[in-house]
Amino acid sequence: MNLVSTGYSAYTSFASILAAALVLTACVTSEQNRDLTEAGQEFQDCPDCPIMVVMPVQTFRMGSPDSEEGRSKNEGPQQSVTISPGLSISKHEVTFAQWDACVADGGCETVPDDNGWGRGDRPVIDVMWYDAQAYAAWLSAKTQKNYRLLSEAEWEFAAKGGGDKTYSWGAVASHDHANYGTDDCCGGRIAGRDRWLEITAPVGSFPANQLGLHDLSGNVWEWVEDCWDESHEGRPADSAARVDGDCNLRIMKGGSWASMPVRIRGAFRDAFPPNDHGTIIGFRVARAD
């Protein structure tokens, strides 16, 4: 009787463990699915991988209105763009620690100089557009997920926090929200929460925007996928990268620690040859599903 009882009890234990394992598997699967569908959800595909934030499927106005202070003609005409489902964007600019993990793993060849500012959680600098591509390719191979650079549309959506203001936080540049430079020309500046003079800030030193993302405006310029074009004329309504322009130049967004306010606006556009690099240039990544 005892034996039977013990046997039964052992069986139940095994069954419970099996059931628990199945529930656990279901939970993990459901967690992964939620990562892909719930806006604002954060996840990380590996310990060295960037933290990613799931974006909402939402329509926004790309470019700037004629009335926006400091706007260039190439920021118009404004276009309605809808973000594709399944998009996640890295919470921060890619850091030196993340970059160095790619180098150590053989996925990235360039070992960028940190300009004496330190590595770790400072944004990687001195990387070419080609380097950024190599990093995304390494992440994709490592995680078996589709990592890539952001499109200009996705970047601008992220920088505006999904809204239609000049900066995610409002209409006026603020050193409480970004590491950038002086009002009229060149070089860095310290003011408010911005304690970094002519140097990058560790990523995430400023508050997250409405989408849970940090440092789109300022700190380092961010390479995006798109080729340069002179305006938003003819831009499709989806958020894919536009590569029908001049691909000898790739677009960079967001300005840097040295930029004047006009350049850290969400709509501001600049472009450089893809082999350009320097202390003001970094990037972040997207994951598409």
List residues binding Ca ion (CB under 5 A).
179, 188, 194, 196, 215, 219, 254
Nearer to Ca ion, 62 or 178 (CB): 178
User: Least distance (Å) from Ca ion to the CB of residue 187?
Assistant: 9
Neighbours of 58 (CB within 10 A): 14
> Is the separation of the CB atoms in 226 and 62 below 8 Å?
no
CB atoms within 10 A of CB 61: 16
Q: Which is nearer to Ca ion, 60 or 268 (CB)?
A: 268
Letter for the amino acid at 263? R
Torsion angle, alpha carbons of 40, 45, 47, 53, to 10: -20
Q: At closest approach, how far in Å is the CB of 197 from Ca ion?
A: 6
We find the least distance from the C-beta atom of residue 206 to Ca ion, in angstroms, to be 10
What is the smallest separation between the CB atom of 228 and Ca ion, expressed in angstroms?
A: 19
Residue with the CB atom nearest Ca ion in the bound state = 254
When the beta carbons of 35 and 213 are compared against Ca ion, the nearer one is 213
CB of 189 to Ca ion, least distance (A): 5
Q: Which two tokens stand for residue 254?
A: 């967001």
Q: What does the H/E/C string look like for 218-263?
A: CCCEEEEEEEECCCCCCCCCECCCCCCCEEEEEEEECCCCCCCHHH
Exposed / middle / buried, residue 111 (Cβ in 10 Å: 0-12, 13-18, 19+): exposed
> Smaller CB distance to Ca ion: residue 96 or 196?
196
Residue (131 or 194) nearer to Ca ion, CB: 194
Distances (CA, A) of 19 to 25, 42, 152: 10, 28, 47
